[in-house]
Amino acid sequence: MTMLDLDYKRKVVALKEQKNAVILAHNYQLPEVQDVADFIGDSLALSKNAATTDADVIVFCGVHFMAETASILCPEKKVLIPDLEAGCSLASTINVHELQAWKAEHPDAVVVSYVNTTADVKALSDYCCTSSNAVKVVNSIPRDREVLFLPDLFLGSYVAEVTKRKNMYIWPGECHVHAGIKADDINKMLATFKNADFLVHPECSCTSSAMYHMSKGDLAKTGHILSTEGMMKHARASDAKQFVVATETGILYRMQKENPDKEFIPIKRDAVCKYMKKITLEKVYNSLAHNVYEVKVPKDVADRARLAIDRMLAIS
């Protein structure tokens, strides 16, 4: 950490106390941003932390749809995102008009949306889901009902493979990071690091392709599909000294920090989300100092989106 970063860190810590603020950082954030965060984790878990905090201000260091979800779950709090350009290539693959047209083609279908979607899209959905509970959500729907699953092609294909559902339609969206993770890439890494544990994080969007390849039997080794905390616990408890990790590379900082005597190897070193990396420590300071940029979901949209999220939570 540079002297400038240390200065910003001191200023951020002081402003947090002064403004009764909490900083939430996604696993993909830069190390220096993670270091000033009160909570580090996945998008929905961070939003649940936001909903239970006593803070007046939430600085969400993630991407825009995550800040929207925090705003939906805690409308009385001020939710800030340090950079408005921190979007999501997966969430942007479908908009409200496209979903409305798709629903019109399947008027009796149940719509299941991955959390990597905008608030407007969630408001038109019947259920939300994460990678770790998508199978459970789809299995809760009567098998004679059509399902529209969006927007992740890989996650949808994985769910269809596991549930063996024939009346499930999948939107052809993809994350720019996980689209580049192929079965051949994974098998080459597993062959190189034969004794390494293979960890797959189910709630990181860029691992849904790995989950799909696992379900199809395309991989040389079965991975451990674990939540963030599950991965951390496994890494601490495992006798393995090497771990091959299928996810965006940002999570490796936290894993290495908690297990300095072990080696964590990314499936692909260029599996980097450029949108997550837009948020810097300087921007976190600017956000706190000037109350920018506030993310507020209109009440009618938030109420409908919250229903889809609550249905998911009730199943989980």
Q: Write out the binding residues for [4Fe-4S] cluster.
A: 88, 175, 273
- Long-range contact list for 230-233, CB < 8 A, 24+ apart? 231/199, 231/201, 231/255, 232/258
CB atoms within 10 A of CB 74: 18
- Between the CA of residue 281 and those of 7, 63, 95, 159, 165, what are the distances in Å? 10, 15, 31, 38, 45
Residue positions forming the annotated binding site: 26, 43, 88, 114-116, 131, 175, 201-203, 228, 273
**Which tokens in the block code for residue 49?**
């932390």
CB atoms within 10 A of CB 105: 9
Residue positions forming the annotated binding site for iminosuccinate: 26, 43, 114-116, 131, 201-203, 228
**Which tokens in the block code for residue 54?**
């006593």
